[in-house]
Amino acid sequence: MQFLEIRNNIRFKDVMPFARYVETGRVALVADGSLKGKLVSIVDVIDQTRVLVDGPGSGVPRQKIRLNQLHLTKFRLSFPFTAPTRIVRKAWTDAKLDEKWAASQWAQKLANKEKRAQMTDYDRRRVLAPLERGISLNQNPRSPVQRKHQPPNQQRSEAVLVELVRDVREVCHHVHKAGWTDGMD
């Protein structure tokens, strides 16, 4: 049972506000500097602003780094305090950290962000144009399934457009048949 404290008619639960701590084995993502975007594991805490990190799976050599350059992840490796790189590497591979990270939603968001940054104007237009017209990229634009999901006024406007095209074709056919095409070319 959790302890509940009442102060000024406000209830406070006795729970920890954080779930990710700066601790030995905690995996972090480097957010700043030349190593930006790489995963590292905390090996030792130097002081309240710096830690010793090692990233054998991501190619980061052992070095000290400021905590404000790190984003702590939910992953934690199990190895002894100030373990050498070979022990950290073994814990990294045993935990299959690279696969877990690649499957995480955070890594997928970063990959999508990188993909969007690499897009050209043409790519953006190619992706957004069908979406602006209400067409899914995975559907044939003429499929009846897609037409069902269009708003009613858009369905009506398509029907009107089809009738208009049919009328124009009939008029062109009659003009050509009657020989009224002199001077129209």
Global pTM? 0.61
The dihedrals phi and psi of 77, each to the nearest 5 degrees, come to: -95, 155
Handedness of CA 39, 45, 46, 50 (dihedral sign): positive
As beta bridge partners, residue 6 has: 11
Residue with tokens 């999508």: 112
Domain map of the chain by residue range? 1-98, 115-178
Rounded to whole angstroms, what are the CA distances from 147 to 42, 155, 156, 161, 166?
54, 7, 11, 15, 20
Neighbours of 62 (CB within 10 A): 15
Instruction: For residue 48, give every residue at least 6 positions away whose Cβ sits within 8 Å of its Cβ, in sequence order, or none.
Output: 67
Q: Which residues pair with 5 in a beta bridge?
A: 12
pLDDT means over runs of 10, the chain (185 residues)? 55 70 94 93 95 94 95 94 93 95 94 88 78 62 53 60 73 64 51
Residue 91 tokens, joined = 């814990």
Specify the DSSP class assigned to residue 104.
Answer: S
The number of beta carbons lying within 10 Å of the beta carbon of residue 60 is 17
pLDDT at 29: 96
Q: Is it true that domain 1-98 has CATH number 2.30.30.30?
A: yes
First CA to last CA distance, the chain? 90
Q: How far is CA 47 from the centre of its chain?
A: 34
Instruction: Report the C-alpha gap between 77 and 66 in whole angstroms.
Output: 20
